[in-house]
Structure 1
């Protein structure tokens, strides 16, 4: 799956009007597009073949043929897994809620996997492997993701911090150095507090990894490595449900890649942390 329809949806607010009509037509007729020529698409959306080609290239494809090939692959997976679901309607049954929420989360993970660039991912985890200290910045649900990352990376002996207080985030950022890494977590890519922190971190020479949505955002423009995630939120899922799942998955990928890079050492630290946690549990049980 190539995340084609997600890229198209996200591009609508960023492309020119002549290309916007192409994107809207694709979203309305994805199945038909696969068997159409570039001239047919252009005629149907009152555009030009050149505009259709420009649009396909603007969202990362070599041309219209490459776009159609990737779209066909996406549609087959969507059909196989029944991923495309209508928004929940008022009075939806519990069974419907279970199905829609689960399928939207699965869709987000599928699309995010295809948005991840291998070179950017390699760059990101190598920065984390070599980092003397890792700072993670996030607000709201993004802070919870940052906190989850801290408890993972600390288990393999990586020095890392995540503060919920914005002022402490700034204090931590100003104490970073050239061998340190700041991880910015913001689905919108425009969270002011996070932008402020990574600007401070960069001023100290630290490298920046951004985990954000597929778009040209302030955070992605400041980062040394950018990892895109996909999400499909509706009015009742504004608490960053699918974006949270997708971002946690990226954190898990980075953590596992780092652990495998230094496999024997990481395994030793994991065993030690497991043993000390077990010991604290036994002591707590005896004292109760």
Structure 2
């Protein structure tokens, strides 16, 4: 990802208070340990931290004033004063009940009703975090590229392969030439055939999946427009991405692998991308979608003749 794109991810204006917690969850894994302590403190107790000076927060987290300021800037704020204002706003949201605290992890002995409630809350939080952190400028650029592409290749393995196939099927149904590649060898073989005017999309939550990065690198070298859908905006995959769409960083627990909630956030981004493309290509997309609906409607299980 270029410096311009990294600056675009950070945004020209500070994120809204409601987006602060989402940004902390997304960026914390890539921070230094000292910066993580600051980020965890402000996310865990926004009201308490909002009342602290930069010196006070540094002392609370066992870091330095410079670390506090660097953390604030990484989160998208010009300085600590702006971060304090956002913390006060986030605290007000939480007190009003509009930004509840993160639910506890699912325990082995949880009643099934609690499991349902906790999963539902986590899914909602994942979607909210992804929406809050999604850069609409990058999304718009990705939509524009895909809308006019001669061909779209999509790469994903493991849980991300399901998301890649979902996007590929959606794009095919509106008349675009799109292929989801889950075999890494075939992905590279096909990437070699791409050129300027084509689009390659890599889906990897970790941002470091070699089997996804390699075909994207090849596509990038061939001159195709490249897009990365990832939970790590600083991950290796972004080196070969013209546009980066960031998903929420999943909270992993013993009974809930990160792949579950990361897939939820990936599917939201995929749907946003698909709808954007369908809007831009509506004159051809609408008839193609209607034709696919009609074709599928005629498929049914034949009645027994016995």
TM normalised by structure 1 equals: 0.90
- Distance in 1 (alpha carbons) for counterparts of 2:90 and 2:278: 32
**Equivalent runs, 1:174-253 vs 2, <5 Å:** 174-230=192-248, 231-238=250-257, 240-253=259-272
Where 2:278 maps in the other structure, the secondary structure is helix
Deviation per CA, 1:154-175, whole angstroms, max 9, x where unpaired?
1111100013322211221111
Range moving further from structure 2, 206-215 or 231-240: 231-240
Range moving further from structure 2, 127-136 or 261-270: 261-270
- Distance in 2 (alpha carbons) for counterparts of 1:90 and 1:273: 44
Judge conservation of contact 2:22–2:132 (CA < 8 Å) in 1. Answer: no
Judge conservation of contact 1:136–1:183 (CA < 8 Å) in 2. Answer: yes
**Equivalent runs, 1:117-132 vs 2, <5 Å:** 117-132=135-150
Deviation at 1:151, TM superposition (A): 1.2
Cα distance change, pair 262–93 in 1 and its aligned pair in 2 (3 A): same
Deviation at 1:11, TM superposition (A): 3.9
- Distance in 2 (alpha carbons) for counterparts of 1:64 and 1:219: 31
Judge conservation of contact 1:210–1:225 (CA < 8 Å) in 2. Answer: yes
Deviation at 1:16, TM superposition (A): 4.0
- Distance in 2 (alpha carbons) for counterparts of 1:83 and 1:136: 36
Deviation per CA, 1:189-242, whole angstroms, max 9, x where unpaired?
000100111111112211110000144100122200000000222222116111
Where 1:227 maps in the other structure, the secondary structure is strand
> Out of 75, 80, 94, which is 1:59 matched to?
75
Stretches of structure 1 that go unaligned for 5 or more consecutive residues are none
Relative contact order, higher structure (CA 8 A, sep 6+): 2
Judge conservation of contact 1:129–1:258 (CA < 8 Å) in 2. Answer: yes
- Distance in 2 (alpha carbons) for counterparts of 1:172 and 1:124: 20
Instruction: Establish whether residue 4 from structure 1 lines up as the match of residue 17 from structure 2.
Output: no
Range moving further from structure 2, 152-161 or 169-178: 169-178
Judge conservation of contact 2:155–2:202 (CA < 8 Å) in 1. Answer: yes
- Distance in 2 (alpha carbons) for counterparts of 1:178 and 1:89: 51
TM normalised by structure 2 equals: 0.85
Cα distance change, pair 31–235 in 1 and its aligned pair in 2 (3 A): farther
Q: Match of 1:273?
A: 292
Number of residues paired by the alignment? 286
Root-mean-square deviation (Å): 2.3
Q: Match of 1:161?
A: 179
- Distance in 1 (alpha carbons) for counterparts of 2:247 and 2:24: 14
